[in-house]
Amino acid sequence: MYYGKNSISQNRQPAISESRFRPRGDNPLAGSRNGPKGIMDAKRLEYFKQKLLEKQALINQVLQKIEGYARERDQSILDLGDMAVESYTKELIFGKSSGDRQTLQLIQEALDRIEEGTYGICTNCEQPIQPKRLEAVPWTRLCIQCQDLLEKGLLDQQP
The string of DSSP codes covering 80-116 is HHHHHHHHHHHHHHHHHHHHHHHHHHHHHHHHHHHHH
Same domain, yes or no: 129 and 140:
yes
Same domain, yes or no: 124 and 104:
no
Kindly report whether the global pTM for this prediction surpasses the value 0.75.
no
Q: Is residue 15 part of a domain?
A: no
Same domain, yes or no: 124 and 155:
yes
Q: Is residue 49 part of a domain?
A: yes
Give Rg (Cα) of the chain: 24
Indicate the number of domains in the chain: 2
Model pLDDT for residues 25-34, shown as the tens digit of each residue: 444 444 344 4
Task: Give the range of the structural domain holding residue 152, as residue numbers without chain letter.
Answer: 120-159
Model pLDDT for residues 93-103, shown as the tens digit of each residue: 666 778 888 99
Same domain, yes or no: 82 and 114:
yes
Q: Is residue 17 part of a domain?
A: no
Same domain, yes or no: 74 and 104:
yes
Q: What is the pLDDT along the chain (159 residues), one digit of tens a residue?
A: 444 444 444 444 444 333 333 333 444 444 344 444 446 889 999 999 999 999 999 999 988 887 776 666 655 556 667 767 767 766 666 667 788 889 999 999 999 999 999 999 999 999 999 999 999 999 999 999 999 999 999 998 765
